[in-house]
Structure 1
Amino acid sequence: MTERASNSLADGKHTHATADGLDLHLRPRSWFGTLGGPFAYRAFTTIWVASLFANIGGSIQNVGAFWLMTSMAPTPAQVSLVQTASTLPIALFALLSGVAADAWDRRLVMLASQVLVCSVAVMLAVLCATGQITPLALLVCTFVSGCGAAMFQPAWQSAVAEQVPRSELSAAIALDSFSLNFARTAGPAVGGLIVARLAPDVAFIVSGVSSAGLIYVLLRWRRRDADVKAPRAPRQGLLASLMGGIRYCLGSHGIRSALLRSSLFGFLGSPVWALLPLFAKRQFGGEAGTYGILLGAFGAGAACGALGGAAMRARHHPELVLRIFTLTFGLGALMTAWSPCKAVAMLGLAISGSSWVVVVSTYNLAIQTASPSWVAGRALSLFHSCIVGGLAIGSFVWGMVATATTINATFVISGLFMLVSMLLALRMPLPSPVPYDQCPEIAR
């Protein structure tokens, strides 16, 4: 065993003993120690904190946009378009953002995305303050802001490997998932309070300030020369770059298996996302408040799963983690469908929420560590496209099933299929990590 030089990122120092280039832990760390590992690196800590506030700001902006559309055009079709405008860019531009993350400096890609998000938030605030906001302007601004968010995510996730060593990557990804899901839980509550007590334009101002904070942190991120000069995808035509990334991912049996399995997981899990509002209304006769409580239970479970998943992966093989939490997601869906009261439904949704995040982050980690640095951004963006695509197609299909049967029956059917889907691991194993000399960005 040889000692490797300490890894210093923006004055954050951490030393690992290695053998043959691999990071080793001499003894298992506690759950808190596992999650706290990435915070030993100042670059990760500052960017993570800033992105947490930016994620919360984005959720607050969404609340302001929904409420503003409700007051301007209070029809279900118009209000639902706000959700479409915010999520459609992920499905449309995830692969393009992956190309950008591989071909250009990821720090610059993240900066550009946050400048776009901040500019949109400021524009919305100005339009509201001057009384010039319209439903069309709100939808266009929401769509453009969603484009910025879609551009940011692949670059941020592939750049995490520039901030922590490979031994801390699982915990770092878990913390990233926690940031997103905590924002989805806390953001709507804070946003609702801001909109109710103040005005929607204040929500947009808060979002702009939070994005500006992340811009400031990214500008001050001091990187090592090895990270700045890390190999990038060769500059080539957009279509050629896209097809090159797709060919690599589909040509790798392990990555292809992970993509197919994650797509199916998104498809089978989509009823919980798509039909929850109607479930709250029909099962318990509730309105928006009941839906908010149930959605909050799912979000709280997701936040807990983001933290607990890292500890599980530190102690168990990823395949075992996937099987356990695919099983618990299905059981959570069944519990929700058969719930006699809100408390049981909340417990089932919390179980499903935590399972969702653990499964998605485990697939994320498997694909990221199996991809060489020159294609990592496109592999992650393809993964996001598969998850979102499974959700989008599943929402439509399961909506048709619910129309022909009932929402409860749809939850039961999808939950049972989720249990059966665990058998795919026998024929579609996860990919193995790439050798360190092929992945210089995370081979520290």
Structure 2
Amino acid sequence: MSSSSPKFFARIFRAFRYRDFRLMWTGACVSTIGTFVQQFAQSWLVYDLTKDAFYLGLDLFLGQLPIMLFSLFGGVFADRMDRRKMLLTSQYIQMVCAFLLAILFVTHVVKVWHILALSFFVGLGQSFGGPAYSALLPTLVDPEDLSNAIAMNSIQFNLARIVGPTLGGIAYTAFGATWCFALNGLSYIAVIISLFMIHVKFVPAKTTESVLNSMKEGIRFIRCRDGMSALVILAFCTTLFGFSLNAFLPVFVRTIFHRGPETYTLLLVCSGAGSIVGALSVAAVEKMKGQGRLTLIILILLGLIISGFAVSRWLPLSCILIFFSGMAIMASASFMLSLAQLITTDAMRGRVMSVYNLAFRAGIPLGSLVLGKLIPMVGVSKALSGAGLALVAVSLYFLMLNRESTFRPAREQQEA
């Protein structure tokens, strides 16, 4: 038992053998903690200012709208420009927005439209930084450790989901919203430092091809590559129906449990803890056959869990359910992203991953916007349970059509 334990942990954390990955992971983790500190205060204040669930959905929608509009262009530039410089520019934009929001709060002039506008500009920075990060990450590790690196990246994100809301709740209660936004602004310094320290191996090929033609080439690659189109559609449906639960937690806390920010923090922490367990489970897997089919089964379970949470009126049960939803969300997202990264090639990675990420992220604001309209009409429980059942239906459809040979790595497809 004692001799096998170090080997087990070495297998789980094998991506940390790479210096550049360690640097990026640390910087990204600090920055993401800051993001969740701000998100805690921002979501709570938007709902407190408006008392309308629609504005929670609208805030999320406006934050994702630039990603929907511009990330395809970001993917083209990620394949023809220095990915580190693109990421640095993205961090600068987001840092300025965080400090500006802190200034608006400390001067007592902030309005809801200020928050919505700044969410849009943050999304604008992410629309170019996201494809660059997705394309840069696989170059930091060897191909055989890519799935592990993706899982480790998910762990830092979900570790931040636990630490961020906890710090956000403390900062919001003790010092006010201004400090939440200021802490987020300071957190970007960590990822900026890490970007200056890493060694970027990818050198973009010089091209005179127009941006539009490069974009078309990426879309053709997706259509021709076995399994890629199916993954893009599944990613969109997954986030459309399965990722809106956390966005409407303030509504559950206020209208179902009749509690305050402490309960909101508790539910977010439970969700984040479940996500870390899910990501660790993925990280422990070295090679697995049937990964596509397993992903679909996890998504079916996720839909059922969401429906269960929606009708629950007992807080301990809701905490357990949201823990398992966090597990299912992270495991399915990690598996799908790993499949997408393995199917594509490095020369096309920026464009292909921008399309995949666009589909994955577009479902979140669209689902939130629709649910934000449905909740006042039918109630939060019926709206969320309907979304969960819709995810079950979509996943069952793909499960019946799924052929495991479809999701083959790029190397195997080229050999075939």
Q: Give the distance between the partners of 1:408 and 1:110, measured in 2 at CA.
A: 35
How many pairs are equivalent? Answer: 407
**Aligned counterpart, 2:389:** 413
Deviations 1:227-273 (A, max 9, x none): 243x5484533322222212211222311111122223233324535
User: Whose helix proportion is higher, 1 or 2?
Assistant: 2
Farther off after superposition, 158-167 or 309-318? 309-318
Please say if 1:162 is aligned against 2:135.
no
User: What residue is the counterpart of 1:382 in the other structure?
Assistant: 355
Question: What secondary structure sits across from 1:53 in the alignment?
Answer: helix
Partner Cα distance (2:5, 2:226) in 1: 31
Residue identity in the other structure for 2:63:
S
Deviates more, 1:102-111 or 1:59-68: 59-68
Partners of 2:241 and 2:387 within 8 A in 1: no
Q: Which residue of 1 aligns with 2:13?
A: 36
Note the C-alpha offset of 1:159: 0.8
User: 2:101 corresponds to which residue?
Assistant: 124
Change (3 A) 1:332 1:217: same
The partner residue of 2:314 within 330, 336, 341 is 341
* Structure 1 equivalent of residue 402 of structure 2: 426
Partner of residue 191, structure 1 = 168
CA distance in 2, matches of 1:296, 1:55: 15
The equivalences for 1:299-338 within 5 A come to 299-312=272-285, 314-337=287-310
Give the corresponding residue for 1:19. none
For 1:222, what is the secondary structure of its paired residue? coil
- Maintained 8 Å contact 1:271/1:414: no
The 3 A distance-change label for structure 1 pair 425 and 262 is farther
Q: Distance in 1 between matches of 2:371 and 2:404?
A: 25
Match of 1:435 in 2: 411
Check the 8 A contact 2:274/2:323 in 1, yes or no. Answer: yes
Q: TM-score, normalised by structure 2?
A: 0.84
SS at match of 2:236: helix
Whether 2:127 is the aligned partner of 1:150: answer: yes
Q: Distance in 2 between matches of 1:383 and 1:165?
A: 22
Aligned to 1:139: 116
For normalisation by structure 1, the TM-score amounts to 0.80
Distance apart, 1:276 and its partner CA = 4.6
Deviations 1:162-199 (A, max 9, x none): 21111111111011112222222321221222122223
Instruction: Give the distance between the partners of 1:348 and 1:367, measured in 2 at CA.
Output: 28
2:237 pairs, out of 264, 283, 286, with 264
- Which residue of structure 2 aligns with residue 10 of structure 1? none
DSSP 3-state at the match of 2:332: helix
Conserved in 2, the CA contact under 8 Å of 1:305 and 1:357? yes
CA contact (8 A) 2:93 2:122 kept: yes
Alignment check: 8 A CA contact 1:398 1:410 kept: no
* Residue 113 of structure 1: how far off its partner (Å): 0.9
Distance 1:243 1:345, change over 3 A: same
Alignment of 1:114 onto 2:91: yes
User: What's the offset of the Cα at 1:123?
Assistant: 3.1
2:19 maps to 1:49: no
Q: Distance in 1 between matches of 2:388 and 2:196?
A: 49
> Does the C-alpha gap of structure 1 residues 418 and 330 become closer, same or farther in structure 2, counting only changes over 3 Å?
farther
Cα distance in 2 for partners of 1:214, 1:305 equals: 25
Q: Which residue of 2 aligns with 1:90?
A: 67
Change (3 A) 1:277 1:137: closer
- In 2, Cα distance between equivalents of 1:102 and 1:94: 13
* Residue in structure 1 matched with residue 181 of structure 2 by the alignment: 204
164-173 vs 115-124, greater mean Cα deviation = 115-124
| Aligned position for 1:5 | none
Gaps of 5+ in 2: none
Q: Which entry has the higher C-alpha Rg, 1 or 2?
A: 1
Give the fraction of aligned pairs with identical amino acids, expressed as a percent: 26
Structure-2 change in CA distance of 1:56 and 1:232 (3 Å)? farther
